[in-house]
Amino acid sequence: MDDAMVRIYIMGKEYKVPGNLTILTAMEYAGYKIKRGAGCREGFCGACATVYRFKDDYKLKADLACQTKVEDGMFLAQLPFVPAQMAIYDINKLKPVVGVFQELYPENFKCVSCNACTKACPQDIKVMDYIQAIVREDLARAADLSFDCIMCGLCAMRCPAEIAQYNVAILARRLYGKYLVPRAEHTKKRIEELDKGMWENEVRELMSISKEELKEKYTSRDREED
């Protein structure tokens, strides 16, 4: 039964916890005060990457602690972050070309198409597909496929080519957003108007009304057609 007590090992020490708990809540049930490695707690923020294994099983598993229920005989440890290469660069000095990735993330081109990264993703993002899109210099597709990435790092843990997929993806999105996405001229014009103080009275009005009135104005606003 889910609420039956199970035996787990946290940092090598044995505890008995209810079997219906997640790893995160089981650690707190056992008395651990979690200050790092926990964010939203029940969603997908990516902060609670956890590794675990079972007795007589050589495989090391990785999941998010807030999404994974404890199992009897689980040996686990929480990670403050996933160790992986993160290139240092000035986005203003880069170009949206495949050569940038060849220089900053050469391991990206060693992908063996095993799809282990996709299988590890807690959000079912097509990780291998966006890595292959980058190889083909299709940054638009890479940005689209990786848009929901929460940077948990589980993909990098499983990659035999040692690719830090989530760091590669954020570079692709930055390059795409800075250089390739068409600029919204009306947004640029509105910013210029704000800088000139043309909307100061309207801004003061918005700041003075109640939260309920602000919500009403927001929901009833004029919207652009897709």
| CA atoms lying within 13 Å on the CB side of residue 129 | 13
Angle at 65 between CA 61 and CA 71, to 5 degrees: 65
Report pTM: 0.77
Our measurement of the distance from residue 54's CA atom to the centroid of its chain's CA atoms, rounded to an integer in Å, reads: 27
The rounded distance, in Å, linking the Cα atoms of 75 and 55 is: 8
What average pLDDT does range 43-51 have in this prediction? 85
Backbone angles phi, psi at 104, to 5 degrees: -85, -35
Distance of alpha carbon 51 from alpha carbon 53, whole angstroms: 7
Q: Which helix (H) or strand (E) holds 7?
A: strand 5-10
Spatial separation of the C-alpha atoms in residues 46 and 154, rounded to whole Å? 9
What pLDDT digit, counting tens, does each position of 147-159 carry?
Answer: 999 999 999 999 9
Question: What size, in residues, is the chain?
Answer: 226
pLDDT of residue 2: 52
Domains along the chain?
Answer: 5-78 (3.10.20.740), 91-180 (1.10.1060.10), 185-219 (no CATH)
Cβ atoms 32, 100 nearer than 8 A: no
Looking at residue 175, its pLDDT comes to: 98
Q: Average the pLDDT over 182-202 and give the result.
A: 90
